């Protein structure tokens, strides 16, 4: 979508989850179609915007990535302010990142508005082509997501798998809500 086209709707979506699961990579892949192997903490950038077309409407998605605060669990209430959606991400090769999901979701529930749409994403599927290195089973991710009435996807930012599908599904739900 060209940048001179003004969107009909703007939705704010914030990312949470352990450091290293791939939140920044997901945002980079979705917004700029790039991927970097190196781990770098984003500093200073609040959010990026990408517009998509959904049923002939231009929808701007404002994606809020942490600037490394998740390492210190210092994500503030302010971060969730006016969020339409929250993406809670884990790494399917990290048991710990999956275990921490419940803590992330409860901090979201404490701070976000009640009608905020939650999505759970298991990232790095490219690392488990044969499911051999997989630590978190797809079924377990889906079960946890269902418990919280959340959408669920497994993605790879590296190989660009399911990124667009996930974001479109979220945008669709948000659009249909109002």
Per DSSP (E only), the strands in the chain are 9-16, 47-54, 57-64, 85-91, 117-123, 151-155
Closest chain position to ligand GDP (CB):
22
On whether the CB atoms of residues 83 and 103 are closer than 8 A, the answer is no
- Residue indicated by tokens 């884990």: 90
Residue choice 24, 62, 94, 97 for contact with Mg ion (CB under 5 A): 24
What x-and-dash track marks residues 37-56 binding ligand GDP by CB under 6 A? xxx-----------------
On whether the CB atoms of residues 63 and 79 are closer than 8 A, the answer is no
On whether the CB atoms of residues 121 and 89 are closer than 8 A, the answer is yes
Q: Which stretch binds ligand GDP (CB under 6 A): 33-41, 75-83, 101-109, 141-149?
A: 33-41
What x-and-dash track marks residues 116-145 binding ligand GDP by CB under 6 A? -------xx-xx------------------
Binding stretches for ligand GDP (CB under 6 A): 19-25, 36-39, 123-124, 126-127, 156-158
């Amino acid at each position: 979508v060209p940048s001179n086209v003004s969107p009909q709707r703007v939705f704010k979506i914030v990312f949470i989850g352990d450091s290293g699961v791939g939140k920044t990579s997901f945002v980079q892949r979705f917004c700029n179609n790039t991927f970097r192997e190196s781990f770098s903490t984003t500093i200073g950038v609040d959010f990026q915007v990408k517009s998509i077309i959904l049923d002939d409407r231009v929808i701007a998605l404002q994606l809020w990535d942490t600037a490394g605060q998740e390492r210190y669990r210092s994500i503030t209430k302010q971060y969730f302010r006016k969020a339409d959606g929250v993406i809670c991400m884990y790494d399917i090769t990290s048991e710990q990142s999956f275990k921490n999901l419940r803590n992330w979701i409860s901090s979201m529930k404490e701070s976000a508005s009640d009608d905020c749409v939650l999505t759970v994403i298991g990232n790095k599927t490219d690392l488990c082509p044969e499911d051999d290195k997989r630590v978190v089973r797809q079924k377990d991710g889906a079960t946890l997501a269902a418990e919280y009435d959340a959408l669920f996807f497994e993605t790879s930012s590296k190989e660009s798998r399911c990124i667009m599908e996930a974001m479109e599904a979220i945008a669709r739900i948000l659009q249909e809500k109002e």
